[in-house]
Amino acid sequence: MTPVELIRAPFFHTPVNAFRDDLALVCQEDGGLLIRDGRIAESGDFAAVRQAFPGAAVTDWRDGFVLPGFVDTHVHFPQLRILGGLGRTLLDWLEHVALPEEARMADVAYATGTANRFVGSLAAHGTTTALVFGSHFSAATAALFEAAGAAGLRVISGLVVSDRYLRPELHQSPRDAYRDSTELIRRFHRHGRLLYAVTPRFALSASEPMLEMCGTLLAEHEGLRVQTHINESVAEIAEVPKLFPWAADYLAVYERYGLTGAGTVLAHDVHPTDSELERLAAGRTSIAHCPSSNAALGNGIFPLRRHVDAGVTCAIGTDVGGGTGFGMLKEGLQAHLMQRVAADGMNLDPARLCYLVTRAGADAVGLGDEIGDFRPGKAADLVYIRPPADSSLAEVLSRVQSLEESLAAIFTLAGPESVREVRVAGQPVHRAGEPIQGRLLAR
């Protein structure tokens, strides 16, 4: 008989859309999560689950809280070492901070070190699934897939393709990009927990033959995702009609080449038109909202209410180099704060925050049937949070009156020091104090 584990802990999850259902947040004070074969076999009140499965070995985490693993829907692995480049605009930051570092990924040893640290950082912050911008270099992108595969994370990534506008060493012909992408798809797509995403950097850096090549890849392989950027800064958007004079708006560029729809995640969308929002919703294209990056680069305040009213799926991305770090809880807090100061902001209560960093992300990346909440049948991807005894969070949690208040405090105060264990499909991918690098080498 397969051994089963019963985790006993207060837990939270949002099995349904928290923007449509006021009761979306499920809180269990004395919760039980039964894990069998890497999946949630049962979830609910501990006593009830215990009665149904009396033989299960109990893991007692009543001193903390359990959430579904976080889903980061937009993050750039080569930008790990350039966090903190404050005070620039998007196009200036790209030229002087981001792209020089992206060019260093030509060095495979440097890229491999970056990839290993990147994957370790995701896990240490509770991120179990990430849609990741790879590198402009094939070997560096392969290094990311290998690091993610060894660590056991769900990573969806791809070669970043561009043939203009950046630096010459980051440009590649559509023919070479097709060859390298095809090879990476063969090596990594649907291998274990890895998936491939066709990744044109953004419209400015991709010629029409390059975008056409991206559409060809999608037609030739099943189950690929697409990730790119859209409507991030006003100055960027002003360049689009010069390069694509036929396009009615930014989204129309991607639409023409079949790069939108379910399984496509477009980052930012700070300045959409009403028509674009309608078409995003109708086509089930999702948006990765990156509030720290939008603020740090001065790109503006995300019109969340317009997206939600139009029916567009929005999830959260850290963006890393343009943002402020890997923490999805912190990113959720930043989204909350930005909405507080937005002219037409939405109240991001704990239910909506939980939804945005878990379930919405799962839907955005096309894994909504597999992950995102604790309903029976889902993979057991989870984060165990227990703050250090001497932390502000521990003080706050000692006096809160409800589980919902606890969750608000966790979003406000929990950093990686509070992330004690992270599981993917029931298997630990991070334990506090254990460097992931050691486990990578051991396997």
- Min dist CB 343 to Zn ion, Å, is 25
- Min dist CB 321 to Zn ion, Å, is 8
Q: Which stretch binds Zn ion (CB under 5 A): 26-34, 62-70, 158-166, 312-320?
A: 312-320
Cβ of 379: how many Cβ atoms within 10 Å?
26
Q: Which stretch binds Zn ion (CB under 5 A): 258-266, 314-322, 382-390, 415-423?
A: 314-322
What is d(CA 407, CA 386) in angstroms, rounded to the nearest whole number? 12
Q: Which stretch binds Zn ion (CB under 5 A): 14-22, 201-209, 260-268, 422-430?
A: 260-268
What is d(CA 41, CA 34) in angstroms, rounded to the nearest whole number? 5
Q: Residue 319 has which token pair?
A: 């963006």
At how many degrees (to 10) do helices 350-357 and 328-341 cross? 130
For residues 315 to 334, the per-residue mask of contacts with Zn ion, x marking binding by CB under 5 A and - elsewhere, is: ----x---------------
* Closer CB to Zn ion, 31 or 321, in the complex: 321
- Min dist CB 325 to Zn ion, Å, is 14
* Max CA distance (Å), the chain: 67
Q: Residue 441 has which token pair?
A: 């080498």
- Min dist CB 305 to Zn ion, Å, is 23
What is d(CA 11, CA 289) in angstroms, rounded to the nearest whole number? 25
- Min dist CB 15 to Zn ion, Å, is 29
For 259, the 3-state DSSP assignment is: coil
* Closer CB to Zn ion, 102 or 319, in the complex: 319
* Closer CB to Zn ion, 72 or 363, in the complex: 72
Residues in binding contact with Zn ion, number by CB under 5 A = 2
* Closer CB to Zn ion, 260 or 299, in the complex: 299
What is d(CA 124, CA 253) in angstroms, rounded to the nearest whole number? 37
Q: Which stretch binds Zn ion (CB under 5 A): 247-255, 267-275, 304-312, 324-332?
A: 267-275
The DSSP bridge pattern shows strands 264-268 and 225-230 to be: parallel
At how many degrees (to 10) do helices 208-220 and 174-188 cross? 30
Residue with tokens 């506090």: 432
- Min dist CB 319 to Zn ion, Å, is 5
* Closer CB to Zn ion, 42 or 236, in the complex: 236
| DSSP class of 213 | H
Where along the sequence are the contacts to Zn ion (CB under 5 A)? 267, 319
